[in-house]
Each structure stands twice: as structure tokens, then as C-alpha cells.
Copies of this chain bind each other. A is one copy, B any other.
Amino acid sequence: MEHRRGAERVRSDATTLPSPSVSGLIVQKYGGSSVATTDLIRNVARRLGRVRDSGTRVVGVVSAMGDTTDDLLAIARRVTPDPGDRELALLLSTGEVVTATLMTMALKSEGYDAIALTGFQAGIRTNPVHTKAQILDIDPTRIHRELDAGAIPIIAGYQGWTDDQDIAVLGRGGSDTTAVAVAIALGADQCEILKDVDGIYSADPRVVPKARKLDFISYEEILELARAGSQVLHPRAAELGETYGMRIVVRSSFHEAPGTTIVTGDAMPLEGRERVRAIAHDTDVARITIVSVPDRPGIAHGIFAPIEAASISVDVIVQNVSHQNVTDISFTVSRTDLARTLRIIEPVAHGMQAQAVTHSASLAKISIVGSGMVANPGYAARMFGALAEANCNIVSITTSEIRITCLIDESQVPIAARALHDAFQLDVV
């Protein structure tokens, strides 16, 4: 891949702690709430300008303004409950294009040379999964040309272009992925994700008042946090950053504090290694249960293959022990995918002689994440104990090497999060 060499060079930097000043080239991504109004857009433009003034070349990647994406989704659903992925992607892609043009106008009005680029114009090629596309590669020719001409390129995040000349979008949080991929393709020194929060916290501060900002976090921890529902950084962005060794910094778009730097496990300061790093929760959870399905080989494949074919992400899967040759299979999907999943799964379940398909959209996931959990047993017991003490009923449990996730009732998320934050002493540095 053409950009590989630059990325490799960056990799060696990323294993050391971040240097206080960065020269060369950085990519800054600004999320929806950082560009929600024209005043905020002008603020961001001035900040991009200050980076440029300091002698560092800078590329901006922007999300849609505020709730634009949700507004566009809502208008599509007013037309039809099932908008179709190709057109939905094209519709949603307009949100980021609007921000990119306004940001460019703001930069020009501040006296900077700038140019707005759509995903296509920025050379971002994706696979043809229209609403959950993956970036295949980036041809950085035009971005380089604009940088060489002295301009600040402002790239519409979240989108790319398929080989069929269709526009595809990357799914929620896709602008993070755009930013990291562009940073890699350009061989940038650093990719900064600027948000309406100061960095990555030990828990959602809106739910856990004692939550503490983390100075460092490892790629694998951020990946697990993302899988657990934390929206600090899109997992695909973290994966790309880890694979290509791109240093990623999550920081505030409103002030210049250093934020949270994502590092490889080796680079983590020692005192941070042996513990739970953070609590994550996710209320975008819907559970579907296929009741009393005959338990024979191929059942799971028969259920999940068509869901996967529809590009729906299945999360927690629980299959009960079989009684009298029938079993219940439960799994979770995001709430936005619930209706579509039911349409797919109901005929399948019927064909398997299942007794019924039930669903619930009032559950949530709560998780603890930390690299220290690999080598140290006992975290699960402490977690379940803390939840029991807080009177939270656990519906089901899943684990990875560095994460334990419990499915609980949505209404119990705040009390559970605070209980776990206390139990693992996450407010203590």
C-alpha cells in the first residue's frame, strides 16, 4: 500500500510518550457537537488556523453538524420505514459535506486558504456496504496537492466512494475512522480527535460524577470500551491506529488541554497497568429471543448467517442449556436494527419450528475494561458482588480477555455504573 512507508515511520514515534510539541502534519477531526452551530464552526476554524500559524500543516475532518444525521434519518423514516441502504447512505453523506463547506468558508473569512473535499474528492474508496462501509484505501494525491499549495483541506468525514461510483457511509462514528485513515495515508505525525469532552474518562461523567479523565489508554482497552458501548472513539478507528501505529489523541475542541493519548500496551505508564481502566455502558441494546427452537447442529448458523448477510452486528449471544432437545437462543443488536432483524429472523424461526420470537428494548450493557484483568483473576467476582450490593439483576454475562459485560435493566445503569466505579476505585489516580 502506497501509504505504508509513512505509516511505518510514524509507528516508531507512537510507542514513545507523546512529545509536547508536534511539527510537520497533523489531522484534526471535529465531531458533531463541536461543529453544531455556525459560531462553533468559526471557533474550530480559528483553532485550525492557529495550528497552521504554528507552522504545522493541518488537515481537518468534520462530522455533520449536531443532530443532522439523526434529523436526516428521521426525515427518511417519515418517507418510508425501510429507506434502503444505497439511498440512505447518499442522503446521510450530505450532512458532512455541509459542515466541510461551512468550515472552509469560515477559514477563508479568517484569511486562510482552505478547500472542502467530499469523500470522493479526498480519494477515499470504500467497499459497497452502503451504510456500514469500510475504507479500502485512500489515494492522497489531491489532499497532498492542496497541502502543497498551502491550503487547509477540510474533508467531509464518514463517507467514501465505491467502485460502482456510489457514495457509501462508514456507519456511526465513521468520521473518526476517516480521520485516522487519512492520517495514515498522509503519513501524519498525529491524529487528533476533538470532542465536546476533555478526553477519555473512567466512566461517563454524566452518569458517574466522580469519573476521572485518563491521561493514557491502550488501543486494546479503547477497542473493548468501544465494543462495550463507549462512544469516545470508533473501534475501526482504534484498530486502524493500532495496525498502522498512528498516534491518536482524544481531546477537547473547546480548549487546548492535552486530553487522552492512546498508546500501545508497552508504552503505558507502569502504575496504570494493573487495574480496571474504565466503566462503559450502552443503552442502544435490543434483545431478541428465539424461544424453544429444536437444538440440532446448524441451528446457530441458520439464525446468524442471514443476519450477518444483512450487515447487522450481533453482540451478546446466549444459548441456554438444552432441555428435552429444545433450547432458547438470545442475542442483542442495536435498537435501530431491531425491526429489520425481526423481519429477517421471524420466517427463519418459523421454518425451524421455534415456538416464538420475543424481543425487548429496555435492557442495557454495563462493562468493566482494563488490560490488568488479563493476568489477575477476581475481577468478575468483584463486579458481580458490587452489582448485587446495588440490587442490580444480571440478565446475562459475556467476557473477553480484558472486559466483562453484564446485561442489566436500562433503568439500573446509573446506579450500577456508580457502584462499579466505587468498587474498582476508579476515582483514585
Known: A38-B75, A102-B75. A108 touches B80 (CB 8 A): yes
Evaluate contact between A80 and B105: CB separation under 8 angstroms: yes
Within 66-113 of A, Cβ neighbours of B (below 8 Å) are at: 72, 75-76, 78-84, 86-88, 90-91, 94, 97-98, 100-102, 104-106, 108-109
| Copies per complex of this chain | 2
Cα A102 to Cα B104 in complex, Å, equals 27
Evaluate contact between B102 and A76: CB separation under 8 angstroms: yes
Q: What residue in chain B is nearest A104 (Cβ atoms)?
A: B87
A383 sits at the interface (CB 8 A): no
Evaluate contact between A84 and B105: CB separation under 8 angstroms: yes
Note all chain B residues with C-beta closer than 8 A to A38: 75, 78-79
A165 sits at the interface (CB 8 A): yes
A107 → chain B, closest Cβ, in Å?
Answer: 9
Known: A101-B90, A101-B91. A79 touches B121 (CB 8 A): no
A116 sits at the interface (CB 8 A): yes
Evaluate contact between A76 and B105: CB separation under 8 angstroms: yes
B-facing mask of A116-147, CB < 8 A → 1, else 0? 10101100000000000000000000100000
Cα A70 to Cα B82 in complex, Å, equals 30
A47 → chain B, closest Cβ, in Å?
Answer: 15
A309 → chain B, closest Cβ, in Å?
Answer: 20
A115 sits at the interface (CB 8 A): yes
B-facing mask of A144-165, CB < 8 A → 1, else 0? 0000000000000000000001
Known: A38-B75, A121-B165. A91 touches B80 (CB 8 A): no
Q: Which of B80, B81, B108 contacts A84 (CB 8 A)?
A: B108
Note all chain B residues with C-beta closer than 8 A to A91: 97-98, 101-102
A250 → chain B, closest Cβ, in Å?
Answer: 27
Query: Count of chain A residues with Cβ under 8 Å from any Cβ of B?
Result: 38
Q: Which of B78, B84, B116, B142 contacts A87 (CB 8 A)?
A: B116
Counting chain B CB atoms within 10 Å of each CB, which of A72, A78, A79, A142 scores highest? A79
Note all chain B residues with C-beta closer than 8 A to A94: 94, 97-98
A281 sits at the interface (CB 8 A): no
Evaluate contact between A109 and B90: CB separation under 8 angstroms: no
A418 sits at the interface (CB 8 A): no
Q: What residue in chain B is nearest A74 (Cβ atoms)?
A: B38
B-facing mask of A321-334, CB < 8 A → 1, else 0? 00000000000000
Cα A142 to Cα B106 in complex, Å, equals 36
A277 sits at the interface (CB 8 A): no
Evaluate contact between B90 and A116: CB separation under 8 angstroms: yes
Evaluate contact between B115 and A86: CB separation under 8 angstroms: yes
A29 sits at the interface (CB 8 A): no
A42 sits at the interface (CB 8 A): yes
Cα A105 to Cα B106 in complex, Å, equals 34
Cα A233 to Cα B407 in complex, Å, equals 60
Of the A-B pairs whose beta carbons lie under 8 Å apart in the complex, a sample of 29, sorted by A's number, is: A38-B75, A38-B78, A72-B98, A75-B98, A76-B102, A76-B105, A79-B102, A79-B109, A80-B108, A80-B109, A81-B109, A83-B105, A84-B105, A84-B108, A86-B116, A87-B101, A87-B102, A87-B105, A87-B115, A90-B97, A90-B101, A91-B98, A91-B101, A94-B94, A94-B97, A94-B98, A118-B167, A121-B165, A142-B165
| Top 4 A-B pairs, shortest CB-CB distance | A80-B109, A94-B94, A91-B101, A87-B101
